[in-house]
Amino acid sequence: MASLVAGSFLVVSCNNTPAEQRESMNDKVEKIEDKAVDAKASRDWQGERTEIMNDLRDLRTKVDNKLAEVNEDLAKKDIKASVKADKEAMKAELTKELNMLDEKIGNVENATADAWDMTKSEAENTSKEVKSWWETQKEKVDLKTEADHDKDGH
């Protein structure tokens, strides 16, 4: 019986030289490392995706709330023609901003790891554009009312 067990070890060891065993082990380690890198990359882009998605949704909520205010103002019966024209222009701009945000939110929601870099770049650019537009609107209100509603010093 002992010779049978010893013979089986001898046969197994003859088929796998130390170099072959080392190569096999290196391949296994490489596969494990690749899986770990892929998992980390997946977590990284998904974390970025969540962060960007939250930012876009927050902006969308702000724009949507402002649009609701504008629509309330437009629904008033005693609105002056000049104010109505300003509100209509604001409504058009807010609707444009909402459409941009909705498009990018959809792109981010449907993003894949392969296309993430491009989707991320486009979403970040849209976010910056909307934030810049929003700041410009605040400045316009400050100038019209001669008040510093956004507390930025002017």
In the chain, the amino acid numbered 65 is N
**Per-residue buried b or exposed e for 6-26, using 16+ beta carbons within 10 Å of the residue's own CB:** eeeeeeeeeeeeeeeeeeeee
Backbone angles phi, psi at 86, to 5 degrees: -60, -45
In the chain, the amino acid numbered 74 is L
Distance, in Å, from the CA atom of 50 to the CA atom of 42, rounded to the nearest integer, reads 12
Strand stretches in the chain, DSSP E: none
The tokens describing 3, both together, are 């010779």
User: Residues 65-89: pLDDT tens digits?
Assistant: 999 999 999 999 898 999 999 999 9
User: Residues 76-128: pLDDT tens digits?
Assistant: 989 899 999 999 999 999 999 999 999 999 999 999 988 899 999 999 999 99
In the chain, the amino acid numbered 106 is G
pTM, two decimals, is 0.66
